A and B are shown apart, each in its own frame.
Chain A
């Protein structure tokens, strides 16, 4: 099982007296996993732990069965796009990638082919022979991504990979991440931008102050919180007053709000399943016609707000 997962077992990391992460237990499957949390919550520390850039003070990390200290084997199957925006001086984008592949022991011909493949994928072929120092922030971000993917790794760790990219480039990157994930790869991504996290994630790990506060598929995380934070469901139908009357009879319903245009209801419930059953029954009975039903707070943003709230001022 651990051979296809990234495992954290009771992992803690302290920088002197400053907490990085504490008692983290995670088992990350293939697909896109997003680390979400405010600045200083421990996202980068988790990424650095799984790539061996820092070592845990306690606990154990394994990446597809490998210990991060085994760099010689680990980095053949892992690529890491760090947040550090610095590069060896004097190198062009092409030379930078080529140098990295030569460290893999790749022959000159194979390295050349892989470099051009990666540059093409990231839309950087025209800037290949320009010095990285002369690149814009967005181009530097792309060349870092190119470095992370150029050896075609099984695991990609991407620290704020969408930073500095324009909206078009972000869309392209998200499509690339989806493509890589659909090929069975692991992508671990940290991000502040919650609506993009919502779009790309198969699962999320929410962190605050070095602790994991939630993990899993966002819907599953949300439903686990229903006692403390009842689910909100927005229903637009032809007879909202009738629906309101029927849902008020249910124990699991906490609150019902009528929309201003009187054609919709916002229902707060501790059991989404029971509410959907009731709604289905009413529709089948022909009591009302439903235009739309949508969870109003079953997204990363809402879960983030509930769990992390005002601490996450940095999130958008």
Chain B
């Protein structure tokens, strides 16, 4: 076990991959998705400040919770992870650059770990910043309208919970799309399949809900959002999972999927001509 060498190799992989992920053209879509929360709540705050809309503190936090669970987790972070993690290997195959890694004295397991870490760091950096900034915008806006109630809220705990859920979402979705990028030639098709499944989990029995990332993430959110609208008739409610189960569960899922990616990478052959 040459931990020192592996650490140096992972550091080299991180340097290059972070540069590619954060500065490449593909990053624009991820920046837009990550910034969506800040833009939306920034506009909401401006509109409320100028008196164009009327706000209540509890409604604003519920609005934020709804936005975070229904849009930011399910779409923004989901697609952000699609862009970042699927391209870690699939993008390199399409650009015919993966062989540069495979021709270096790097164990493929170390390569899988380094690439996953780079994707995780990039996505956590962008979406973590989006989550924190948008939440702080809501807080500052609420502080202006209802100072006393605002001070009574456990805001730091909520912010920490939202940030924790963001990190776990990047871990969970990231590992799923890392594997997909290695298993499928066109990983967008299975990604759409995952999106559909993640969207319909609200309508499936409690046991099946557990075969999704979003169920565990929503269980950890500090504010539960009631399911409304016509779909309420078909929705099947389930007890949220305990954080003691959800967090280790998501971490274990990530570990298994990264291991699967490493095993797949071990058997990977370079045949760009077939792509």
Interface residues of A (CB under 8 A from B): 15, 48, 51-55, 71-76, 80, 82, 84, 86-91, 99-100, 102-105
Contact = CB atoms under 8 A, between A and B. Distances in A.
Interface string B241-275: 00000000000000000000000000101111010
A122 B114 CA distance: 31
A100 B106 CA distance: 10
B20 A82 contact: no
A84 B13 CA distance: 21
Given A48-B270, A55-B269, A103-B12, A88 B106 contact: no
Nearest to B114: A103
B105 A53 contact: no
Contacts of A76: 105
Contacts of B5: 105
A74 B105 contact: yes
Contacts of B200: none
B269 A87 contact: no
Contact of A53 (B8, B11, B269): B269
Contacts of A71: 102, 104-108
Interface string B6-21: 0011011101100110
Most buried by B among A15, A55, A84: A84
A52 B108 CA distance: 12
Contacts of A53: 99, 102-103, 269-270
B20 A90 contact: yes
B185 interface: no
B106 A54 contact: no
A89 B20 contact: yes
B17 to A, nearest CB: 9
B24 interface: yes
Contacts of A48: 270
Interface of B: 4-5, 8-9, 11-13, 15-16, 19-20, 23-24, 95-97, 99-108, 267, 269-272, 274
A270 to B, nearest CB: 43
24 contacts: A15-B271, A52-B102, A53-B99, A53-B103, A53-B269, A54-B269, A55-B267, A55-B269, A71-B102, A71-B108, A72-B105, A74-B105, A84-B99, A84-B272, A87-B97, A88-B100, A91-B16, A99-B12, A99-B16, A100-B104, A103-B101, A103-B105, A105-B4, A105-B5
A86 B19 contact: no
Contacts of A51: 103
Contacts of B107: 71-72
Contacts of B274: 15
A90 B23 contact: yes
Contacts of A75: 103-105
A43 B107 CA distance: 26
A112 B5 CA distance: 18
Given A54-B270, A86-B96, A105 B103 contact: no
Contacts of A74: 105
Contacts of B103: 51, 53, 75, 80, 82
Contacts of B8: 102, 105
A74 B5 CA distance: 15
Sort A-B residue pairs by CB-CB distance and give the 8 closest, nearest first: A102-B12, A103-B104, A75-B105, A86-B96, A53-B270, A105-B5, A54-B269, A105-B8
A115 B13 CA distance: 18
